[in-house]
Amino acid sequence: MFSIAEIEQILVSSQPLAFEADNRKEAYEWISGLLTDLDYRKQNRKNKGVIQAFIRKMTGYRQTQTKRLVARWGKTGQIETLSYSRHTFPRAYTSSDTFLLAHVDEVHKTMSGPATKVILKREHEVFGKAEFERLSRISVSHIYNLRHSFAYRDKTKNYTKTKPTTCPIGERKKPEPNGIPGYIRVDSVHQGDDPIDGKGVYHINFVDEVVQFEFVGCVETISERHLAPVLEAILAMFPFVILNFHSDNGSEYINRIVAEVLNRLHIHQTKSRPRKSNDNALVETKNGAVIRKHMGYHHIPGKYAVAINRWYQDWFNGYLCFHRPCAFPVRTIDKKGKEICDYPEESYLTAYAKLKSLPNAESYLKEGLTFAQLDSIERKMSDTDYAQAMEEAKQKLFDQLKQDQETTTETATKEERM
């Protein structure tokens, strides 16, 4: 080992000299051995500076780091390598929670954060699913955090403009329900045209303005012959009395046959006013957020309307009314008299839950219908279980439609060859 005199000569020498260590542990052991052999604690200030300069020359360490290592040696007589441990916050939600959220989003078609939180909370508190215990307490902001995580991303459908008419049927008026259910907004969504298969199916969307009960039907065309039976059947599905029927000015709704159906049911008919684009905004919003999200934009030939309508009645309408949370605005008036709409967490409810929350809710139900009967429908399956079963039924429907189209194409190709 070097003496103080030899170290001084090495320091003034121009000859390059360095200690070669394979890793940090070997370097620390060499420094510890040098300090021990030279009895560093008993050296005067000058010699200590020489020793530290020698360590810097041999190891290439900076002055601050050298002093820190010498100080550590002075406390314990050796220099141990310290393992760096980055501070991390404890995980509140596991990978299984992330996969569960991805599953919920998959079957519910990725609703907004507040609506998704209601689903997660209902799965645990209403339907008693233990696996949703942690997710039932999740914040809206953290739902979006999990959606951006790698585990979530790894786990995981044109509107046809209606033709205006000058028919005097219907009153040009914006409905004013005043908190009473039974004011229905109606609109249609076209599933595109195709040069070979012709016109696509039409989805008829019915939404109550107050409680957002939503029923959807599917017709081959929007002529009176196809539309009237579906219209009457869907109006009968609402659990409360229908008071008002509001649509745009399209001829599919403003015609004699529809007017006769509504008059027979004692339902007042209104239509949107000119230059008032918000008169039918609620149902138009649902067209994109509900129908397009679940049915997409691809062309579906009109001949499949009956099969799609059957799936709507068997699965989709029940999901929309009993298992899909909707946002209900809380309206306040500011100092300037302007109406402000807020959407707090507690305002996200399913349409059925909103109906039950109305004052004197039972008085709005149709004669012979009770909330006990409706409760049995809601509790038959949890929100997510129902959504998953609905998606499986829809996939079977689409597979059947695809198979039928492929068979039709093959048959047409054979006939052309013949």
Q: pTM of the predicted model, to two decimals?
A: 0.70
Q: Identify which of 392, 325, 375 has the alpha carbon closest to the alpha carbon of residue 122.
A: 325
194 and 285, same domain (yes or no): yes
| Mean of pLDDT values over 208-237 | 91
Distances (CA, A) of 344 to 112, 228, 241, 313: 13, 39, 29, 32
44 and 101, same domain (yes or no): no
220 and 367, same domain (yes or no): yes
Q: Are 107 and 384 in contact (CB under 8 A)?
A: yes
Q: In what order do the strands lie in the sheet with 214-219?
A: 171-172, 268-271, 244-247, 183-190, 202-208, 214-219
Q: Kindly state whether residue 399 falls inside one of the protein's structural domains.
A: no
205 and 233, same domain (yes or no): yes
pLDDT single digits (tens) 252-306: 888 888 888 888 889 999 988 877 777 888 899 999 999 999 999 889 999 899 9
Cα–Cα distance between 108 and 312 in angstroms, integer? 15
48 and 137, same domain (yes or no): no
Residue 63 is part of which domain span?
A: 4-76
Q: Kindly state whether residue 400 falls inside one of the protein's structural domains.
A: no
Partners of residue 247 on adjacent β-strands: 271
Residues contacting residue 316 through CB under 8 Å, at least 6 positions apart: 216, 294, 390, 394
User: Beta strands of 234-282 (E only): which ranges?
Assistant: 244-247, 268-271
**DSSP-derived 3-state class of residue 45:** helix
Half-sphere exposure in the Cβ direction for 325 (13 Å, CA): 27
58 and 188, same domain (yes or no): no
38 and 138, same domain (yes or no): no
278 and 224, same domain (yes or no): yes
Mean pLDDT rounded to a whole number for the chain: 87
Q: pLDDT confidence of 159, banded at 50, 70, 90?
A: very low
pLDDT single digits (tens) 45-55: 998 998 889 88
Q: pLDDT confidence of 173, banded at 50, 70, 90?
A: confident
Number of domains making up the chain: 3
110 and 251, same domain (yes or no): no
CA angle, residues 395, 128, 121, in degrees to nearest 5: 75
User: Distance from CA of residue 349 to its chain's centroid?
Assistant: 16
Q: pLDDT confidence of 18, banded at 50, 70, 90?
A: low
DSSP string across 305-357:
HHHHHHHIIIIIHHHHHHT-EEE--EEEE-TTS-EEEE--GGGEEEHHHHHHH
261 and 193, same domain (yes or no): yes
- Residue 347, class by beta-carbon neighbours within 10 Å (0-12 exposed, 13-18 middle, 19+ buried)? middle
Q: pLDDT above 90 covers what percent of the chain? A: 46
218 and 331, same domain (yes or no): yes
Distances (CA, A) of 325 to 121, 223, 319, 321: 11, 33, 10, 9
